[in-house]
Amino acid sequence: MFLYNQLRCLYFSKFLPKFTLQKLQLGDVYVCALNESDNKRIGVFSSRSCGASRTWEIAVLKAQAEYVEREAVRAANATSSTGFAAFPFIFFKQKAIKQAKKYAYAEMVERYAWPEWFANDTIAYQLRSDVCDCNNSFYQAIQKEMEFSNLYIIQPQLELNDLQLVVIYAVSELGLVCAAAAHKNIEQAELSALKELYMHAIGLFRMKSQNLEATTIYDKRVYWISGQHECLQKRLSSQGNAPLSIPFPVIFQDIKTAFDQTHVVQRCIFEGYQKKFISEENEMYI
């Protein structure tokens, strides 16, 4: 499997632009970022394409897929990557489409359910402050670098039976940092959320330490959330007793990119659900 995934990385790289590959090990997790040669910003956090896994090869494959996903967002003239997912293939394209739909759906559930939980205090959830044992090595490596003073790990109760949502808020000297992920496995959802949390913490540090203006959707989200500690405490004061439902028809779109030879891209949409990223009133939307 090790050699097979190495060969897959090399094969897919033939069809992608030339990148500078950055590798970082945090505990037992590897984080890989792809930076294009003309990208003047340096560092894992500056890349549009980042993957994390317990093997180098899978982390690289995830970073490659994320790059294609970002290109698909551009090709579709979308305002954010909400509901997009790319998946690689060599021979079995239909299987890849099925996987991409699964990940796109999980992405859409995450982006919908996270702000819905935040805004609706009737939704039930579980709260803990410790990560799962299998993710502890990863978190301790992040904590050593970021020095979070508090951690809130939230699992909103979903009406769905096939997905688990993990939302993580961490308190830092520079403000609140947050990330979320949905997956059928709670440990994997937490792992993915921790990777995003690390990236967001570095992004927040970069913006505030270098007095950079928040211009991209990513920057605006990270910067806005950093000032929401009081709102989070208010939300956590209400436990709620109702599960969160998804009351929208689900539709999928096949998104074409310049990388159709190696990756399929699916976009999941909750039909009838439209919401801006961050409104002028600073309404939260992920």
- In order along its 286 residues, the chain shows pLDDT tens digits of 656 666 676 667 776 777 778 889 999 999 988 876 655 444 334 566 888 999 998 999 999 999 999 999 999 988 788 899 999 998 899 999 999 999 999 999 999 999 899 989 999 999 999 999 999 999 999 999 999 999 999 999 999 878 999 999 999 999 999 999 999 999 999 999 999 999 999 889 888 888 888 877 778 888 889 999 999 999 999 988 999 998 889 999 999 999 999 999 999 999 888 765 444 454 554 4
**Alpha-carbon distance 33 to 48, whole Å?**
8
Q: Report CA-CA distances (Å) from 284 to 119, 231, 271.
A: 8, 11, 20
For residues 255 and 76, the answer to whether their CB atoms sit within 8 Å is yes
Tracing tokens 């979320």 back to the chain, one arrives at 180
- Residue 84: phi, psi to the nearest 5? -95, 145
Q: Closest Cα to residue 171, out of 114, 123, 211, 225?
A: 225
Q: Residue 208, Cβ neighbours under 10 Å: how many?
A: 15
Which residues does 104 contact at the CB level (< 8 Å), separation at least 6?
83, 84, 85, 252, 266, 267, 268
Structure tokens at 99: 């996987």
Longest dimension (CA), the chain: 52
Q: What is the CA radius of gyration of the chain?
A: 18
pLDDT given for residue 35 in this prediction: 78
For residues 86 and 48, the answer to whether their CB atoms sit within 8 Å is no
Tracing tokens 């074409």 back to the chain, one arrives at 256
**Burial bucket for residue 15 (CB in 10 Å: 0-12, 13-18, 19+):** middle
pLDDT given for residue 90 in this prediction: 87
pLDDT given for residue 213 in this prediction: 81
pLDDT given for residue 38 in this prediction: 57
Q: Closest Cα to residue 138, out of 196, 222, 73, 205?
A: 196
Q: Closest Cα to residue 154, out of 119, 202, 193?
A: 193
